[in-house]
Amino acid sequence: MDHIAWLDPDPPSLSKLSLDGREDIVLPGYEDNLPLFVRAEQWFEPYRCYELPGGSVNLSEDEAFDLYREIGERTTGQPMDVSPGARTVVGLRGAYPGTFAWNGNDPDLFNDTLVLLWRDAEGKRHVREFPVNTDSGAYEFGEHNSSSLRPNRVYPYVNGWHKTYNALHIDEDGYQVRDDANKNGHWDSDRNGWYPPQTEPDHDRAGGGHNIHMASVDGPLGYAHVQNWSAGCQTIPGIANWKEFIARAWTAMGDPVSYYLIDVRDIDPGVWYDCPQQDGTRICPFRVKSFPHTDARNTADSKSAQFPMYNCSPANESGPEYFYVFDLTQPATVHVKVDDIAGTGPDIDVHLLDGDSPLACLARDDVAFSLWVPPGRYWVVADTYMEGGNALVGPYVLDLWLE
């Protein structure tokens, strides 16, 4: 298990910031010309514009709070503490503030979003949105010294320290990360693409040390690079943005802060679309709430045929499929078994995914497999094999259990 390197420059000085009714905090003495991001400011206007999948809408601060809460809870399966005084951070990897469409997540840029949510003592809801980087910078940090947090899970943080100044400190160790082996600042994978240099491939491993802190960079924002400001920490650009964030996020030393990190491509479709009933489609998957789980279906009845092939197998899976989704808060070995019920020759294969994409396949078999996985959201797809242009549809029984 290797912690990420903290090679960001030490602050040239430190100062104290007084917070009304709270303890003073230590600020870093960095200087830069990046202004406070407009969406990070206090809401004085009644509405702000949001680019949703269905188009642009104006949302009040209460409505924006509810939207981010729903995204976090639905996509991780974990309830959010919205009691007065509690702080929550929602990270959206691959989307600019106020948007929810995948932007390509080009490396070494501040092109992700952090949203700070809280309710004050009177119950009023507050939302602050910051441009950030949730990956590693493009920099030679050394072997196993840079990595990215896995998305679609909740990470525990506390009011603490990053180096010599107050920041949000991750309160967990030895969690699974994606090692940036070629130091290009990009999560290289079949789903995300494999960026140069083509040296040692990125890979999964245990890691630690991913704090939420600042990066002192000059504007304009679109041209600011992360570089050695982050080997995988979640970094907020500019002292003005950092001061606004930490002054609102801080409550008292050691207080907990939950961090919901979401890949925007995996936002639960139930956030955007009505699902009156689960039908096993990609939009309305069957939700596995407990284990062991057994389900009997017939792929001839499926309304979906969206994943014709997976990156884990060259098999032709162009026939209809059923989607299942579940969330894990602890590491586990997932066991998946499918029984093609005897009949006219059905051939149903099972796939385990860690993203809503056929390029995010972790395991596949025509009978059964077992795989250890870290906390996060997972999809099981029971898909129909194609042979000679014919979909070998038919009945099956799916069994899922954990160890």
Cα 359 to Cα 355: distance, rounded to the nearest angstrom: 8
**Two structure tokens written together for 122:** 């009177």
Q: Which residues contact 58 (CB under 8 A, 6 or more apart)?
A: 47, 48, 49, 50
Residue 285 near residue 115 (C-beta atoms within 8 A): no
User: In the prediction, which pLDDT does 78 show?
Assistant: 98
Residue 216 pLDDT: 99
CA 306 vs CA 54, 290, 325, 355: distances in Å:
21, 26, 16, 14
Sheet holding 395-402, edge to edge: 293-298, 395-402, 332-340, 368-373
pLDDT at 343: 62
What's the pLDDT score for residue 276? 86
Q: 50 near 67, Cβ under 8 Å?
A: yes
Compute how many other C-beta atoms are within 10 angstroms of the C-beta atom of residue 122. Answer: 6
Tokens of residue 234, six digits? 């979640």
Q: Are 36 and 44 in contact (CB under 8 A)?
A: no
pLDDT of residue 344: 64
Residue ranges of domains in the chain: 2-270, 274-402
**376-384 and 386-387 as β-strands: parallel, antiparallel, unpaired?**
unpaired
Q: CA Rg, the chain, in Å?
A: 22
Asked if 248 and 126 touch (Cβ cutoff 8 Å), the reply is yes
Q: For the chain, give the number of residues.
A: 403
User: CA 223 to CA 228: how far, in whole Å?
Assistant: 15
CB crowding 296-312: b at 16 or more within 10 Å, else e: ebbbeebebbebebbbb
Which CATH number applies to 274-402: 3.20.20.140, 2.60.120.380, 3.30.420.40, 3.90.230.10?
2.60.120.380
Give the 3-state secondary structure percentages of the chain, helix then strand then coil, rounded to 5: 10, 40, 45
* C-alpha dihedral (162, 163, 164, 170), degrees to nearest 10: 20
- For residues 297 and 212, what is the distance between their CA atoms, to the nearest angstrom? 45
| Eight-state DSSP code of residue 65 | H
pLDDT in tens, the chain (403 residues): 789 999 999 999 999 999 988 889 999 999 999 999 999 999 999 999 999 999 999 999 999 999 999 999 999 999 999 999 999 999 999 999 999 999 999 999 999 999 999 999 999 999 999 999 999 999 999 999 999 999 999 999 999 999 999 999 999 999 999 999 999 999 999 999 999 998 889 999 999 999 999 999 999 999 999 999 999 999 999 999 999 999 999 999 999 999 999 999 999 999 999 988 999 999 999 999 999 999 999 999 999 999 999 999 999 999 999 999 999 999 999 999 999 876 667 999 999 999 999 999 999 999 999 999 999 999 999 999 999 999 999 999 999 999 9
Taken in order 8, 13, 18, 23, is the CA torsion positive or negative? Answer: positive
Task: Give the pLDDT score at 345.
Answer: 78
